[in-house]
């Protein structure tokens, strides 16, 4: 072999090996071929009530102000993911959501009398979502999601007869969800942070007109923001 050819081969090998060494390893290369897969999820939620008021709230002097505030809680659940196309999945994420909504209300009399009360909820959260995926970029992918949810509040007090109740809420809620997320492929699992917002359609207020606060509020709907971490296989 001529020295010139040998030198050219050595040079090409010298250039090829660093390029191969710099090429990132594609983790879970066959994952996109799976028809379905599962995972777990946990996260932090923030929830609040959206309120509309009755005419009596403006025309009576019982309350000067009723103000909802965001409160933190947490979620734990499972993930079932079904591949529909290369870019669309159907996802079911049953979970438990421990949520807290705060209401601050100020009585007209006695003057400047302010109360802060928290409504605690334990939701059996059952969302069905469509997940719209981007192309995979090495070990990264972006996605958006949208869907519907059914929530059942296992701690709802609509049937309570306790004398210290200040507000009663119904257990059933329906609503929508939208969100975005990112997938980072590791050698044996997918790490996926996600943020989503949901809005309930159902009026959660249970009409008990023996409660002063009920007479001032017309509708009570739940809004929630959830920041989650998914671990999928």
Give 22-40 pLDDT, tens digit per residue: 556 899 999 989 999 999 9
pLDDT, tens digit, for every residue of 85-112?
999 999 999 999 999 999 998 887 766 6
- In this predicted structure, the answer to whether residue 170 has a pLDDT above a threshold of 70 is yes
pLDDT confidence band for 7 (50 / 70 / 90)? very low
In the 8-state DSSP scheme, what is residue 202? S
- In this predicted structure, the answer to whether residue 142 has a pLDDT above a threshold of 50 is yes
Q: What integer is the mean pLDDT of 64-91?
A: 95
pLDDT at 175: 97
Q: What's the chain's average pLDDT? A: 87
Asked whether residue 5 is domain-assigned, the answer is no
Cis peptide before 110 (omega within 30 of 0): yes
Asked whether residue 27 is domain-assigned, the answer is no
Q: What is the C-alpha radius of gyration for the chain, rounded to an integer number of angstroms? A: 27
Going by their DSSP bridges, the two strands 88-92 and 95-107 should be labelled as: unpaired
pLDDT, tens digit, for every residue of 46-60?
999 999 988 878 777
pLDDT confidence band for 5 (50 / 70 / 90)? low
Q: Which CATH number do you get for residue 128?
A: 2.40.160.20
Asked whether residue 2 is domain-assigned, the answer is no
Residues 181, 182, 183, 186: is their CA dihedral positive or negative?
negative
pLDDT at 116: 87
50 Cβ neighbours under 8 A, 6+ residues apart: 68, 199, 219, 220, 221, 222, 223
Encoding tokens for residue 30? 């066959």
pLDDT at 14: 47
Lowest mean pLDDT among 17-21, 36-40, 173-177: 17-21
Please report how many Cα atoms fall inside a 13 Å half-sphere around the Cα of residue 163, on the Cβ side. 0
Please provide residue 12's backbone torsions phi and psi, each rounded to the nearest 5 degrees: -65, -40
DSSP E strands, the chain: 36-53, 63-69, 71-83, 88-92, 95-107, 113-133, 140-153, 172-185, 190-200, 217-232
pLDDT at 23: 56
pLDDT, tens digit, for every residue of 151-166?
999 998 877 777 777 8
Asked whether residue 204 is domain-assigned, the answer is yes
Asked whether residue 85 is domain-assigned, the answer is yes
Can you give 127-167 as a three-state secondary structure string? EEEEEEECCCECCEEEEEEEEEEEEEECCCCCCCCCCCCCC
Asked whether residue 189 is domain-assigned, the answer is yes
116 is in which domain, residue-wise?
A: 32-232
pLDDT confidence band for 15 (50 / 70 / 90)? very low
Asked whether residue 6 is domain-assigned, the answer is no
pLDDT confidence band for 11 (50 / 70 / 90)? very low
Asked whether residue 96 is domain-assigned, the answer is yes
What SS3 state is found at 186? Answer: coil
Closest C-alpha to 225, from 43, 42, 47, 41: 47
Q: Work out how many domains the chain is built from and give that number.
A: 1
């Amino acid at each position: 072999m001529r020295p010139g050819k040998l030198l050219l081969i050595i040079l090409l090998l010298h250039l090829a090996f660093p390029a191969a060494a710099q090429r990132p390893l594609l983790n879970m290369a066959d994952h996109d071929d799976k028809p379905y897969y599962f995972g777990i999820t946990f996260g932090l939620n923030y929830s609040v009530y959206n309120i509309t008021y009755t005419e009596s709230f403006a025309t009576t002097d019982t309350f000067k102000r009723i103000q909802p505030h965001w409160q933190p809680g947490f979620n734990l659940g499972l993930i079932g993911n079904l591949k529909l196309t290369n870019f669309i999945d159907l996802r079911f994420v049953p979970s438990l959501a421990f949520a807290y909504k705060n209401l601050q209300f100020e009585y007209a009399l006695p003057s400047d009398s302010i109360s802060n009360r928290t409504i605690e909820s334990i939701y059996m959260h059952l969302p069905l979502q469509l997940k719209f995926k981007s192309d995979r970029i090495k070990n990264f992918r972006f996605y958006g999601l949208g869907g519907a949810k059914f929530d059942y509040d296992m701690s709802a007090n609509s049937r309570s007869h306790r004398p210290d109740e200040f507000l009663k809420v119904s257990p059933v809620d329906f609503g929508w969800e939208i969100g975005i997320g990112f997938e980072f492929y590791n050698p044996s699992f997918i790490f996926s942070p996600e943020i989503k917002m949901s809005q309930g359609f159902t009026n959660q207020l249970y009409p008990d007109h023996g409660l002063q606060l009920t007479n001032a509020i017309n509708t009570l709907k739940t809004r929630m923001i959830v920041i989650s971490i998914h671990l999928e296989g």
